[in-house]
Each structure stands twice: as structure tokens, then as C-alpha cells.
Amino acid sequence: MSPHLRRPLSTPPARLRLAMLGSALLGAALGAAQPGAMPTPRPQTVKASTAPGSGATFTVQAVPLPAGFRHAFALALNNKGHVLFVAHPGAQARADDTDVLHLWTGGTPRALPLPASFKTGELASSVGRTCLADDGRFVLNTFSEQLPLFFSGGRLTPLPLPDPNIFIQNCAPDLTAVASDLNTGESYLWQAATGAVQPLPVSGAHDVNRAGQVVADSAVQRPEGLYNVDRKVWQPQFINEAGLILGEDVAGDGATLYVWPANAAQPAQVQRPAGTDAVFAQDLNEKGQALVGYLDDQFIYTHATRTYRPIRVEGWRIQGTYALNDQGWVLAQAIQNGQRAVRTVILKPK
């Protein structure tokens, strides 16, 4: 996950600046081979097509803006279409501690006050990831010198991680999560069912599935064992319940996707969408669809058909896309034409 912020901060907090710097300086260390792991087979290059056309391909459903607030910043989307977001009352779309966390399940969004001493001003940072399960439980990073929070049974409680510099990176559908220390790369597995935390044998973990298969900066777990990944070639980012691994090439002059299905002997380097200079992985659902893109070009990529479907809408300007659920719905931030408010929206395929 790129350490860019979803919305402007007047000054990044010292802890976040340090974590980002430490992560960059440790890049070489995180790329070290895992003892006993197999080398990843050489990727094969595969062609992909881009769906033609110029009109809107998705409709826009705006999440209601709570009374007294002027902006809404997206955090997470589940398969029921429920949305977790941060509402901001100020005229400028900037982070501060007047922000309020909200959960929308239809109707009026519900405010969720944080525990005492936790601040809301940086909840919408995109370092790490917020996960919202279909049963309404969720985990989110706080960036307030405090541990990530777990919401269950109407209560928010800190996760029992060993250090507040550890950030949730992603979760399985049952909310089992991987977390990484941005300063050291040390990674942990948190079991939602038991609350147990255990160290992982890989550094820089990015995602996990319910089978316990983890993808990390320089390693991936598959049914047949652990593989080392050369970060000079590609970097894994996501894994779904079927064992499909999604990553990206960050070594060349323009990023391309890498996809490794569980039944394939080697990864595939996928041709970029027509007319684009780069494409990065942003999310992967259980249907084998990936949310990918770069700057103003956003797509849904389906590996089974080797097809990119452009994300285009009418009447709105998309600022960013963040999550893809199993219905093919996309969580995004957008500004309606003629308006200034940043809104959390759901994009639905036409």
C-alpha cells in the first residue's frame, strides 16, 4: 500500500513521517530472501484487452452526508454495501480532530465515537487498511500514537499488538488480519476469533486469507510452500480465498500487474490497459476481480477473461478508488459537478 494520504494534511505527524522514512530506508532489508523458501518461477507475459467505449460504465450512489458535516472520506466497504467513513465539518477538506467516524448501513449514518485519548484527525490516511466485515465488525488504524482499534459488540477496543508503530495492512473475510511495523518490517497475524497475536516469519506482510496464506514484500505462501519473490521484478499485494495472488511491477518505467492463480505453475505479467502508462493493484475480491489503476485511469481487471473494464461515471469527478466488494461495487471519493464537497460514494457497474 502506497504511503500517500487520501486527503491533504497541513503537516504530516512526526510519527508517520518517521515510519515512512524508516520503511524506505529498510527497503533492502525487507527484500532479503526467506530461509528455506523456494524461488518464484519466472513470470510469463500474457496479453489483455480493454473494453471499448466512451460512455459511463458505472453509476454513482452517494453515501448520505451526516447533518452538520461538509465532507466525507472513504474508509471501507463490505459485501452488503455498508460503508465506514470519516465525516469532516470544516469548509476545507483537511484532516483535524473535529472529524467523526461513521458507519452507514442504509438510512442515517451512525456516529462511532472513539475511546478517550484516541484522535480522529488522521483516520483517513491510506497507510495500511481499514477492514469492514459483513457482520459489521471492523478494524482500523488510528495514527494517534495509539494501537489499531477493533469494533465488535458495539465497542471499540485496542488490538493487543506489541507497538503502536504497527499498522493493519489487510484482512481475510473473517477479519483475520496481518499487521506490519513500518519502521522494522516485523509482521504479525491477529486472529479475530480469539484475539491472539503471533509473529510471522516474513517481513512486510500485505494480506492473508482464511487458510493462513500470507503475501509479503518478498515472499508468498502457496499450498505447496513458501516462495521468495524478487522485489526488483514484482511485489505481491493481495491474496483471496481461492489463493489468487495479485501484485505489481514497480521496477520498470511503468508498473504492470502480476497475477498468480493457485492452479498456475508460474505468475503472469499482464499487459497494461490500452492507452495507459502504468497500473497499480488497489484491491482484489473473491470473484477474481481486481481494482487497478493510476491517476485518472481506473479499471476492473478480470483475470479469467484477461479483460480491463474502465471505470467511468457521469456528473461526478472521481478523486480516488479504495475498495472492491464481491458484487463488483467500488468504494470511492468523488466531487459532484458544480459542488465542492468531497463525498464518499459507491460505484456500481451498469
pTM summary value? 0.89
Cell of 186: 516485523
User: Where are the domains positioned within the chain?
Assistant: 14-349
Nearest to 228 by CA among 210, 197, 208, 203: 203
Q: Give, in order, the Cα–Cα distances in Å from 147 to each of 124, 162, 184, 219.
A: 15, 9, 16, 26
Q: What is the DSSP letter of 105?
A: S
Per-residue pLDDT of the chain (350 residues), as tens digits, is: 332 333 333 333 333 333 333 333 333 334 456 667 888 999 999 999 999 988 999 999 999 999 999 999 999 999 999 999 999 998 888 777 889 999 999 999 999 999 988 888 777 665 789 999 999 999 999 876 789 999 999 999 999 999 988 999 999 999 999 999 988 999 999 999 999 999 999 999 999 999 999 999 989 999 889 999 988 889 999 999 999 999 998 766 668 999 999 999 999 999 999 889 899 999 999 999 999 998 889 999 999 999 999 999 999 999 999 999 999 999 999 999 999 999 999 999 99
Domain 14-349 in CATH 2.130.10.10? The answer is no
Burial of 249 (0-12, 13-18, 19+ CB in 10 A): buried
Residue for cell digits 518517521?
Answer: 18
